[in-house]
Structure 1
Amino acid sequence: MVNLIGKRTLQLLAGGALMLFASVASAQYVWVDANGTKQFSDRPPPPGVPAKNIIKAPPAAAVTPKSDDAPAPSSKPMSADDKVPPSLADREADYRKRAKAKEDEQKKAGEDATRKAGNKVACETARSYKRTLEQGMRVSSTDKNGERTFIDDKQRTAETARANKAISDTCK
């Protein structure tokens, strides 16, 4: 009978110890951030949160703050120069800004590639036309009546100058 009472007492003590440690492990902090939103965490609030905005803190944490969680509060009040970690909304806005910049950069790169490809085709066309003009081949055109005519030497010189200008503009 004595052995049964001792076991029961030991079980109750062990259960009580577990409950004590469980209550310490579930320590919660509640505070109101700069935007007026309630924040819940198992870590202490950032150093920039005034003491009046801390709604709930575990009793042990108020006595001995951990040195690795947050720096010890300084005796001087926070100034505008002190850095406060960005809020989730600020980080989200920064992410969207970076994503938009990356999208714009990719769009611009695509447009540049399309423009370069078009310039390459125009350059090759202009060079081919210039070769045709310089080789003395007969070059024909269609007049407003739809009849085929051939260019003379004066027109050939003008077309060669136009081809040279197209080459200088598109072949870079």
Structure 2
Amino acid sequence: MNETRRLFLLSALTGLAGTASLAFAPALAGAALPLHSATDALRAVAASQSARSYHAAGPEEGRPIVLARSHSQDIERYANAASLLAAQGYHVLVPALRDADPAELGKDLIAFIDSVHIPEAVFVGIGQSGQAVRAAADLRRSRVVGLLQVEDSATPQQIADAAATLVRQGKWRT
């Protein structure tokens, strides 16, 4: 099947043969913003049962990045990557997904961005949630500006650098 130009798939940051390589930007000066800074919040999502809450960081007018996190994954790495991206002016959303198969989680991710009124975003999935972001892209390609599937071993800095690269390369409608 012909991939649309709106879908950028970068399959793992390290360790897999045949994957795209990224030239990572130099590390940001300073430490990541704390999880509970003035721009961060844990918010309830009334419109979507799929993500009962989500972590948000960065200005709401920034380009949206969804870091998909399964319920079993630790929020700390996601919060650190979100803080690094928020410091660059991106609007980062980390929904806490339910326990389900990847196809259902893909539907949940689309329902989530609908519930927070985001027409399109860059989607990032780490480990198991990488399958969920792929399912979301398969379901609604027009809503996925960029897709990043990351290995479990990726650092928050690597995740932030790769996601920021996709945002800059993306073909945004809005």
Same fold? TM cut 0.5: no
Q: Which has the larger radius of gyration?
A: 1
TMscore range, shorter length: under 0.3
Higher RCO, 1 vs 2 (CA within 8 Å, ≥6 residues apart): 2
Query: TM-score, normalised on structure 2?
Result: 0.18
Query: TM-score, normalised on structure 1?
Result: 0.18
